[in-house]
């Protein structure tokens, strides 16, 4: 049910954290995986040399024609996991237009354009998996991440829209909403005792998740085990959204 032999997967932002755990997991279950980075080319190459059937590919998703370039580099794939994102933390009335464009371009525009690129072949194959990576902030937005949270909610709306349009073609479209997951992105924040205690007090399970907590959900949605799941928001957050 979880076997991914013969499938190709692209995981954006897979040089560390959640994306890396997803890429490793999909590879373990048989998929050929593209390890994608924005800038850390050496890191992507090194990681790829350690993961069976994987290839590094670096395209900065802030570039104008990023989706075109990434698609040209990978060719068609069966599974697309749109995990890369940018998060800018500022008070809501201090967020600049540049901050907005940056977060919108990577978190929403490139997500949408990449889906546009990869879907035609999935339709031809009558099989495809699209997963966006959102956030618990769709439900509980952080006061200093108002625009970032909005981009994550925008993705869920895209998922809802496309899931019904693509279901007749054997393509599922889902979102995973992680809660607080210990990754390099929030390492400093979680190492701050005071901040960590505040964060943990908001998680019913009482602890921050690991990247592999998200990878399990991604495997389910990527495989035939998840073939009847579409248009859903898989919240993996130790109950934080409740």
Enumerate binding residues for ligand NAP (CB under 6 A).
Answer: 13-19, 37-40, 60-62, 83-87, 106, 133, 135, 178, 180-181, 183-186
C-beta of 124 vs 192, nearer to ligand NAP: 192
Which residue out of 71, 118, 139, 148 is catalytically annotated?
A: 148
Q: How far, in Å, CA of 215 to CA of 157, rounded? A: 22
> Could you count the other beta carbons within 10 Å of the beta carbon of residue 13?
24
Q: How far is the CB of 6 from ligand NAP (least distance, A)?
A: 26
Note if 148 is an active site residue: yes
Question: Is the Cα dihedral 133, 46, 103, 146 positive or negative?
Answer: positive
C-beta of 5 vs 97, nearer to ligand NAP: 97
Q: How far, in Å, CA of 158 to CA of 80, rounded? A: 15
Q: How far is the CB of 211 from ligand NAP (least distance, A)?
A: 6
Q: How far, in Å, CA of 13 to CA of 110, rounded? A: 12
Q: How far, in Å, CA of 183 to CA of 42, rounded? A: 19
Q: How far is the CB of 187 from ligand NAP (least distance, A)?
A: 9
Q: How far is the CB of 180 from ligand NAP (least distance, A)?
A: 5
C-beta of 31 vs 240, nearer to ligand NAP: 240
C-beta of 73 vs 86, nearer to ligand NAP: 86
> Could you count the other beta carbons within 10 Å of the beta carbon of residue 185?
14
Ranked by CB distance to ligand NAP, the top (closest) residue is 17
Scanning the chain, the segments in alpha helix (DSSP H) are 17-28, 41-50, 66-74, 97-104, 110-125, 146-166, 187-191, 193-201, 211-222
Q: Which residues are known catalytic residues?
A: 148
């Amino acid at each position: 049910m979880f076997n991914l032999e013969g499938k190709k997967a692209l995981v954006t932002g897979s040089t560390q954290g959640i994306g890396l755990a997803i890429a490793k997991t999909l590879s373990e279950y048989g998929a050929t995986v593209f390890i994608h980075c924005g800038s850390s080319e050496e890191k992507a190459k090194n990681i790829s040399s350690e993961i069976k059937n994987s290839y590094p590919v670096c395209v900065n998703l802030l570039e104008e024609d990023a989706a075109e370039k990434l698609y040209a580099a990978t060719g068609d794939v069966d599974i697309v996991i749109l995990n890369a994102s940018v998060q800018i933390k500022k008070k809501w009335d201090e967020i600049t237009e540049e901050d907005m464009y940056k977060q919108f371009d990577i978190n929403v525009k490139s997500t949408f354009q990449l889906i546009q690129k990869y879907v035609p072949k999935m339709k031809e194959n009558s099989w495809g998996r699209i997963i966006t990576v959102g956030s618990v902030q769709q439900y509980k937005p952080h006061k200093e991440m108002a625009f970032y949270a909005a981009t994550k909610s925008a993705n869920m709306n895209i998922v809802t829209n496309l899931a019904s349009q693509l279901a007749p073609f054997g393509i599922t479209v889902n979102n995973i909403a992680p809660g607080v997951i210990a990754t390099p992105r929030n390492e400093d924040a979680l190492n701050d005792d005071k901040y960590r205690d505040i964060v943990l007090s908001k998680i019913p399970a009482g602890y921050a998740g690991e990247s592999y907590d998200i990878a399990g959900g991604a495997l389910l949605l990527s495989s035939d085990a998840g073939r009847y799941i579409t248009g859903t928001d898989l919240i993996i957050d130790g109950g934080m959204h409740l």
